[in-house]
Amino acid sequence: MSAPYEGLADFHGILGQFPELKREALDPEKMGFIRMVPHLWYGVRPDSPDHMVFSGRAGWTGDFSWFPRRYPKIPSGWRVVGETKVRVRLDISFPNPAYAGGGIGVTIKEPKDWRLSEIGLQSGVSYVAGWESAWESPFSEWKSPKPAKGGLSELSMDPIVIAEVVETTIENPATRERRILKTPTGWVVSAGIFKSGF
Closest by alpha carbon to 91, among 25, 143, 138, 161?
161
Q: How many domains does the chain have?
A: 2
DSSP state of 98: B
For residue 1, what pLDDT is reported? 43
For residue 152, what pLDDT is reported? 59
Say yes or no: 119 and 181 in one domain. yes
* Regions in the chain scoring below 50 on pLDDT: 1
Strand partners, 46: 52
Cβ neighbors of 160 (< 8 A, separation 6 or more) are 89, 92, 129, 139, 140, 141, 190, 191, 192, 193
Helix ranges restricted to H, the chain: 11-15, 19-25, 131-136
Evaluate whether 108 touches 92 at the Cβ level (below 8 Å): yes
Picking from 30, 47, 66, the residue at the C-terminal end of a domain is: 66
For residue 22, what pLDDT is reported? 86
For residue 18, what pLDDT is reported? 87
For residue 151, what pLDDT is reported? 54
Picking from 45, 66, 87, the residue at the C-terminal end of a domain is: 66
Picking from 66, 90, 113, the residue at the C-terminal end of a domain is: 66
pTM of the model: 0.83
Domain of 85, in residue numbers: 74-198
Closest by alpha carbon to 168, among 46, 50, 85?
85
